Amino acid sequence: MKIIRVPNSANFVSKVIQKQPQKNKKIVESILKDIQKNGDAAIRKYEKKFNNTNIENLRLSKSEIKSAYAKVSKEELQAIKLAKSRLQKTESKIKSLLKNQTLQIDGIKISKKFQPIQSTGCYIPGGLAKYPSTVVMSVIPAKVAGVNRIVVVSPPRTDGNIDPLTIVTSDICGATEIYKTGGVQAIGALSFGTKSIPKVDKIVGPGGTFVTLAKSMINEQTSIDMLAGPTELGIIADSSANPRYVALDLISQSEHSKDTFCYLITNSEKLAKSVNCIISDLIPKIKRSEFVRPSLKQNGFIAICRNKSDMIKIANDMAPEHLQIMTRDSQKIASKITSAGLVLVGNDSPSSASDYLLGSNHILPTNGFGKIRGSLSVLDFIKTITNISTTKLSLKKISKHLQVFTDAEGLPNHYEAVRGRLE
């Protein structure tokens, strides 16, 4: 990893932040237009082109779902159910806080109701790795919220089938439909709808560069959760941190793909050099080094700051998906973090564990969106419905003040609609 000394934290982020090539946007836009125009035929064309597979029936049948169970071990089933149970507890706790409310103000009755959205599409990555954990993270919050139609889409393998573990996890968690398609074409299908895949109200889930771009482009007509991918990990660490732990954590997240964005922010030159040496020593020995090596070399960095204030500023400016804090005063530093998808505090809180079984959600904002939101949750699948009823007496009480607003904004007919009721 490249080591960068940071004399001025104010200008640092603009120099290291990743930028998307314009050609990627043109490719994604072209695929989306084809899906919108040609539907299922275009989906099959791109599955053949990108995944080298011929798909006859896009939707998994009940028999295909049932047969997938025979290919999943008892231990895998236990792990799925544990992850489901832990996240379910977290999401149910959040939902329990949402109570319908009614209030009266001068005869005006206002009620607030919390209601689930009707349908959602959950994108589950595939290809470079299997992600049954992402099924848990996307389907369970929707299920707890009460969403009626929960659709899972995932890239098929070259044999035309989705990974059995992904299928089984989808079934256990409560998905109502599963489709064999991934990439930009899956996002387009969920957004526009095709003969085989009816459109959904909202698309959630992480993905690589092209999937993330596709989600951003269809957001004009279909709601999305956030931009969630490729993976990001920032680590704040001082001289007290175990350099091997830091190296292992950076490697763990960079193994997702070649375009991950993993980095260390420290005020210790000794730690920086030690972490870099350990990574260089480990890479030839580890699995998936073909992803780890280019990712850390091309995208990763180690920033050496003058002090902890600069470390905190850079972390907040970067707003990483995952932020680990491994310092003597980790809780104190955590209290000053305002921008991160997920903050993991202490030496024994690795982001890799949060990806599976800590009870938190691993679908998190990337691309700086950690400044405005956190992880996917039950809240992403619930909308607020407001009902208001009033009376002539109530309107009369506010009419003078209402006229002040309508006159100031130059909208006289707004006031006339009220005055007409008072005559």
Q: What pLDDT score does 127 carry?
A: 73
Catalytic residues: 321-322
Alpha carbons 27 and 191: distance in angstroms, whole number: 17
Q: What pLDDT score does 20 carry?
A: 67
- Say what the pTM is: 0.91
Q: Which residues on neighbouring strands pair with residue 232, listed in sequence order? A: 261
Is residue 229 a contact partner of residue 128, using CB atoms and an 8 Å limit? no
Q: Which residues on neighbouring strands pair with residue 116, listed in sequence order? A: 382
Alpha carbons 423 and 417: distance in angstroms, whole number: 11
Q: 22-224 and 230-372 share one CATH topology? A: yes
Q: Which CATH superfamily is domain 22-224 in?
A: Nitrogenase molybdenum iron protein domain (3.40.50.1980)
Q: What is the Cα Rg of the chain in Å?
A: 25
Q: Domains of the chain: which residue ranges?
A: 22-224, 230-372, 391-422
Alpha carbons 126 and 162: distance in angstroms, whole number: 8
For the domain made up of 230-372, give the CATH fold.
Answer: Rossmann fold (3.40.50)
In terms of Cα–Cα distance, which of 193, 340, 85, 422 is closest to 325? 340
pLDDT tens-place values along the chain, 423 residues long? 999 999 888 888 888 887 767 789 999 999 999 999 999 999 999 999 998 999 999 999 999 999 999 999 999 999 999 999 999 999 999 999 999 999 999 899 999 999 999 999 999 998 777 899 999 999 999 999 999 999 999 999 999 999 999 999 999 999 999 999 999 999 999 999 999 999 999 999 999 889 999 999 999 999 999 989 789 999 999 999 999 999 999 999 999 999 999 999 999 999 999 999 999 999 999 999 999 999 999 999 999 999 999 999 999 999 999 999 999 999 999 999 999 999 999 999 999 999 999 999 999 999 999 999 999 999 999 999 999 999 999 999 999 999 999 999 999 999 999 999 998
- Residue matched to tokens 């071990």: 73
Q: What pLDDT score does 23 carry?
A: 85
